[in-house]
Amino acid sequence: MNSLTDRLQHHLLDHPDADPARVLAELAPLLSRSERSDVLRQVTARRDGLGAIDVLRADPTVSEIMINGPGPVWVERHGALAPSDIRLDAVELDHLVERLVIPIGRRVDQRTPCVDGRLADGSRVHVAVPPVALDGPYVTIRRFVLLDVELGAFLPPDGVAVLDDAICRHASIVVSGSTGSGKTTLLNAIAGRVDPGERLISVEDAAELRLVHPHVVRLETRPSSAEGTGEVPMRELVRNALRMRPDRLVLGEVRGGEAYDLMQALNTGHRGSLSTVHANSSSDALRRLELLALQGSDAIPLEVVRHQMAAAIDLIAHLERHGSARRVVELAAVQADGSTERQWGVR
């Protein structure tokens, strides 16, 4: 059936005004109605979507799609990995890579073998091709199925009370955890408790947040073009956000030198910031923020950065993931000496 789909697709590329159903009837007059529908669906998916994997993108239970070269397509559902029923050959995979990178204005080849970008539906895509991808191309699509989850889904009422108090006090809160632990979902829930009269400005590397708030301004970084121009990095957006009269900054994830700019902002009157960082514990989160701030500073000693970071961050909410369950395991206050003190936690 794939060879027939390829023949029909090639014919339509050469004759874009042709009626697909009529051409298919001429190419294969003995096909059953269901077989004709299947071929036409595949051709439409290739032309207008991402081909065979469109059925996975439409599945609300799929959070991640992983392609490890020609062969089976792997998916993550409810925190578990498994191969899907879909297999891609080398031609289909090359076509998929082309369909992924062209709309986002990127190029992937031997000179630029790795590409990262955001699809139109908000999903994050990463593509790696040879020579770095030995058996590639490799494609990873992370779907942001961000649900409107209340704080009570992450921790019990006494923990929610600690977070609510911090939000009301305009405390600066950092959500920490590993990949897939639910940091963005928790950040979204925390932001949803902010006073509706405040102005939130979100800055993200890839737009994931769905802030349910009446006054939100969203900013997103932009990678450089294929010609190497037009990049708008996180640090530049953070600096611009400070000129846009924010009551609170919401940083989807701190992963670079913008940690220094955030620290400076929080220590000059912009309290109440919300952000996330990859870390294995509350204390690790603070150390990681210090390291990232050092990368963005001009030879400022660690002791100074540590003191300023301790003054900038008030509370760290650390998440852990166990199977499909994602829970806050600790709320830690940051002390003046750069240490952390548990305010609430799982015993």
CATH number, residue 80: 3.30.450.370
Residues 40 and 65 reside in one and the same domain: no
Structural domain ending residue among the three candidates 117, 144, 171: 144
* Integer CA distances (angstroms), 241 to 7, 175, 177, 209, 246, in order: 52, 20, 25, 16, 7
Q: Which of 144, 177, 209 is the last residue of a domain?
A: 144
Helices 33-48, 2-14: inter-axial angle, 10-degree rounding? 60
Instruction: Indicate if 87 and 166 belong to the same structural domain.
Output: no
| pTM of structure | 0.76
Specify the CATH number for the domain of residue 298.
3.40.50.300
Which residue range is the domain that position 9 belongs to? 1-48
Which amino acid is it at 113?
P
What residue type is 292 in one-letter code?
Answer: L
DSSP 59-90: -TTEEEEEEESSEEEEEEETTEEEEEEEEE-H
Long-range contacts at 240-247 (CB < 8 A, ≥ 24 apart): 241/201, 241/203, 241/217, 242/270, 244/201, 244/217, 245/199, 246/199, 246/200, 246/201, 246/217, 246/270, 247/198, 247/199, 247/200, 247/272
Q: Are 56 and 28 in the same domain?
A: no
The whole-number pLDDT of residue 244 equals: 95
DSSP state of 144: -
d(CA 142, CA 116): 11
Note whether 197 and 217 are same-domain residues: yes
Write out the two tokens for 233: 């990095």
Contact criterion met (CB below 8 Å) for 332 and 321: no
- Co-location of 162 and 306 in the same domain: yes
Same domain, 38 and 56: no
Count of domains observed in the chain: 3
Q: Are residues 128 and 36 in the same domain?
A: no
- Does residue 258 share a domain with residue 174? yes
In the structure, how many helices (H) and strands (E) does the chain have?
A: 11, 14
Domain finish residue from 100, 128, 144: 144
181: left (phi over 0), alpha (psi -120 to 50) or beta: alpha
Say whether both 339 and 318 belong to one domain.
yes
Tell whether 83 and 129 lie within a shared domain: yes
Residues 229 and 179 in one domain: yes
Is residue 43 located within the same domain as residue 63? no
Q: Give pLDDT tens digits along the chain (347 positions).
A: 557 877 887 777 677 778 888 888 888 888 888 888 878 777 776 666 687 898 898 888 898 999 999 999 999 988 789 999 999 999 889 889 988 887 777 788 888 899 888 887 778 899 999 999 999 899 999 887 656 788 999 999 999 999 999 999 999 999 999 988 889 999 999 999 999 999 999 999 888 888 889 999 999 998 776 666 788 999 999 999 999 999 999 998 999 999 999 999 999 888 999 999 999 999 999 999 999 999 988 788 999 999 999 999 999 999 998 877 889 999 999 999 989 999 998 86
